Structure 1
Amino acid sequence: MLKRLWLILGPVFCALALVALLVFFYPVEIKHDAETEKRSAVTLTAENFKSRSKKMTALTDRKLRFVPFFGSSEWLRFDSVHPAVLAEKYDRNYRPYFLGQRGAASLNQYFGMQQMSSQLEGQTAVYVVSPQWFTKTGYDASAFQQYFNSDQLTAYLSQQQGDAAAQYAARRLLQLYPGVAMAETVQKIRDRRQLTSFEEDYLKMMTQFNQRQDAVFSMLAAPNNDNYDRQVLPYVDQLPDAFSYQDLEKIAIKEAKKHTKSNDFGIDDNFYELRVARKLRKYKDFQQRISYEKSPEYGDLQLVLNQFAKSRTNVIFVIPPVNAKWAAYTGLRPDMYERTVAKIKYQLASQGFSNIADFSQDGDKPYFMQDTIHMGWNGWLAFDKAVDPFVANPQPAPSYQINERFFSKEWAQYTGKPEEFK
């Protein structure tokens, strides 16, 4: 009987043992290749978003300076003046490394940052804060789990310092992923209890295992998608050799006119036909009761700010607008939107994050938006005018004054004047 079981299960155990040995002893070494890293920077898949190895490889390349651009799905809105296209065409002293996915917001970004905290140290970053993230209930659990992995977990646990940020992150993690691995350890962090020596040793082992596992599977994974070859290089060839915002604006407007003929909202035709046209009547006034003023996202954003302060990262925050015509049609209240933006900006500026590019009032400008909530064409040019000088001329981070009150439920639910919050 035992011999029969061994014949059946023996090969499985041997295979698992070989995989474990491979993972534990696989040499984690970084080999730089500019062309591969350029493709990785615009891949924008969930796998790339979660991978430690790909981010670390690009962000440690000293010959080609990659700068993390944090956001969500706006990076997928490629056109002739997309940030990746402009950086490539005009051979800037940096290349954006895009970190964003549809449905990803500050909490996913925070846990992703734990994988690259060393690469953030003393560096420059761009962070897009979309008011649409700040919904009443906050994150959808399935969306969060989709972009979370075990390497992020152990990276966070191994670096946490038992402070308010670590406690808040643990609480949010358990809310959105109750069945997360090492849940008892996360609970101890939430409750500010000391880990046992066995738990600390186990955490060290799993941290090493997950890092090496990521390196192995990143090596074995399918090649990056073709965004660089299909969405960047063709546009590069269409732009003038001499950089001029005036000339680029003419190109952007010409392209925008060509791609917004099917509707009166100024929305890209393909997006409109696929996502809007068939349900247009249902969208009438459907956002009348929506508010972004009360949301757990304010605490999640504070996690990100805490990490930037800890890493002494100099950041420019970008606040995009919504398509004004679309907002009017769907009933989104402009006064509510303005109050939300004011609350976000107060949370940033009052802690020393004073580099803010606020485009929230520009949603009615011609060809500024590519769809309902994402910038494109003239919007990208405005983005570039604010972001490029900041990124191209890196400066030390200002002195941040982190205030733990922004982790509180009271702030998350506050709707008064931000400067009067107590």
Structure 2
Amino acid sequence: MRKYAFGPLIIAIVLFLGLLFVPNAWIGHLISNKKVEKDATTLSPLMFQGDYVQSRMLKDDKYFPIYGSSELSRFDPFHPSNYFEANPQGFTPFLVGRGGTQSLVQFMNFAAHADQIKGKKLVFIISPQWFHKGGIDSVHFDPNYSMLQAYDLAFNKDIDPRLKREAIRRLLKFDVVKRDYMLSAMYRSEISHPTGPTKWKDNAIKPLAYMNWKLLEKKDLYYSLYGGYKHKLYKDPKLVKGKSWGELKQLATQYGEKRAKGNPFDVTDSFYKKKVLPIQHRMRNHNRHATYANSIEYKDFQMILDLLKEKGAEPIFVTIPVNGKWYDYTGFPKEGRDVFYKKIKKQVEAEGFPIVDLSGHEYDPYFLKDTMHISWKGWVYVDKAMEQHWKTKNPRVD
């Protein structure tokens, strides 16, 4: 007769239960301030799809969070993380986002920390590329979706119910949310019964969903113990330390010029050769019917504005320009870009928030390092806006 050894299985179950029932406070004590500081530049999905590290960051007055997308990983000596390390101003930039973290993803993140952002100064970088007609799609939403933050929203009683229902309706458009039976049932119940669940199925699901929520919190704590991917930061403190803004613009121009090597779009030469040249002949006038005038992204972005205003945050918004030379080459109409700059500026200012509109730099050489990502000279303008916002409520950047 075949014998089965249950010892390893029993040990595994005991270890699992032991890890499961370790008090959260005990795990939190194992996460050092140095670990949180390290996460300021890791751009780790484990960090921004979780709650704990960001919560620790928001509690610490030294951090100045920057929320954005893929431009945050474009490190060079002028990047805020490098510039303010060389030129301390009393804060440390903390980067939150990566490619695809558009308005809806960032809204979920803000909602998860809504009780911590009152009076908190932060930067929110807006990219025109988000504002195509369909807004964020599943290809970009799914990898950045946080199940924990989705459950946070389900149990959140501290934000405007109208805003919560609007966000839930939007989230239910995505399969990754609809496939989660417990979450989607709670979401649909919230829409159908704003004052609370009334059906027996809702009452049965809610405690199970609550247990799952707490397991996700525990998982986030354990993930927070480990470091994220370490990026190459391309630091050069001697280049940027103690320089005037005018000198920094000149140095950034020289820095970018060396790396562009005279290509027609003023982008990194390696990017031009690998990404642009192979498709350049096909892209001439390819986008002649494109526009950023109409997009569901404007509504997603409005939810962020509404939440930050409701909770008394102190954000500064930065509008990134597109690469004018490349967009002209592809035929993307100038009016289709300008309408975005005007709409987003009006939208932000209508809520009383300051905005740094960098749209006038579409044709400014070495403002971007490729066709859409700010870098080099562009970061100098962001650095200046951040320094002024940290000191005042109404920054102005020339």
Shorter-normalised TM-score: what interval? 0.7 to 0.9
Residues 1-400 of structure 1: pairs in structure 2 closer than 5 A? 12=9, 15-16=12-13, 18-28=15-25, 29-30=28-29, 33=32, 35-62=34-61, 65-160=62-157, 163-176=161-174, 177=176, 178-181=178-181, 182-193=183-194, 194-195=196-197, 196-219=202-225, 221=226, 223-227=227-231, 230-231=232-233, 234-240=235-241, 242-261=242-261, 263-353=263-353, 355-393=354-392
Does the 8 A contact of 1:166 with 1:190 survive in 2?
no
Unaligned runs of 5+ in 2: none
Judged with a 3 Å threshold, the aligned counterparts in structure 2 of structure 1 residues 189 and 142 are, in CA distance, closer, same or farther, namely: farther
Q: Distance in 2 between matches of 1:151 and 1:314?
A: 25
Residue identity in the other structure for 2:89: R
Does the 8 A contact of 2:46 with 2:228 survive in 1?
no
CA shift, 1:197, in A, is 4.7
CA shift, 1:103, in A, is 1.8
Q: Distance in 1 between matches of 2:29 and 2:192?
A: 38
Matched-pair identity in %: 26
Provide, for residues 220-271 of structure 1, a one-character-per-residue CA deviation record: whole Å limited to 9, x for no partner.
Answer: x3x33332xx315x3224433x242233223212211110015111001122
Judged with a 3 Å threshold, the aligned counterparts in structure 2 of structure 1 residues 20 and 292 are, in CA distance, closer, same or farther, namely: farther
**Helix, strand or coil at the partner of 2:172:** helix
Residue identity in the other structure for 1:379: G
Does the 8 A contact of 1:117 with 1:311 survive in 2?
yes
CA shift, 1:180, in A, is 3.0
Unaligned runs of 5+ in 1: 396-422
Q: Distance in 1 between matches of 2:151 and 2:222?
A: 17
Provide, for residues 38-93 of structure 1, a one-character-per-residue CA deviation record: whole Å limited to 9, x for no partner.
Answer: 3211112333331322222333235xx11221111111111121111111111221
Provide, for residues 159-208 of structure 1, a one-character-per-residue CA deviation record: whole Å limited to 9, x for no partner.
Answer: 15572211121111111132135211111123345225544444443333
CA shift, 1:316, in A, is 0.7
Q: Distance in 2 between matches of 1:107 and 1:342?
A: 21
Judged with a 3 Å threshold, the aligned counterparts in structure 2 of structure 1 residues 12 and 345 are, in CA distance, closer, same or farther, namely: farther
Judged with a 3 Å threshold, the aligned counterparts in structure 2 of structure 1 residues 359 and 179 are, in CA distance, closer, same or farther, namely: same
More deviation, 290-299/199-208:
199-208
CA shift, 1:13, in A, is 7.3
Q: Distance in 1 between matches of 2:29 and 2:313?
A: 23
The TM-score normalised by the length of structure 1 is: 0.83
Does the 8 A contact of 1:121 with 1:313 survive in 2?
yes
CA shift, 1:32, in A, is 6.9
Residue identity in the other structure for 1:288: R
Judged with a 3 Å threshold, the aligned counterparts in structure 2 of structure 1 residues 179 and 14 are, in CA distance, closer, same or farther, namely: farther
Residue identity in the other structure for 1:372: T
Does the 8 A contact of 1:26 with 1:216 survive in 2?
no
Judged with a 3 Å threshold, the aligned counterparts in structure 2 of structure 1 residues 343 and 250 are, in CA distance, closer, same or farther, namely: closer
Alignment coverage as a number of residue pairs: 383
Residue identity in the other structure for 2:388: P
Residue identity in the other structure for 1:172: R
CA shift, 1:314, in A, is 0.8
Residue identity in the other structure for 2:224: S
Judged with a 3 Å threshold, the aligned counterparts in structure 2 of structure 1 residues 327 and 13 are, in CA distance, closer, same or farther, namely: farther
Does the 8 A contact of 2:132 with 2:291 survive in 1?
yes
Judged with a 3 Å threshold, the aligned counterparts in structure 2 of structure 1 residues 335 and 13 are, in CA distance, closer, same or farther, namely: farther
The TM-score normalised by the length of structure 2 is: 0.88
Judged with a 3 Å threshold, the aligned counterparts in structure 2 of structure 1 residues 12 and 121 are, in CA distance, closer, same or farther, namely: farther
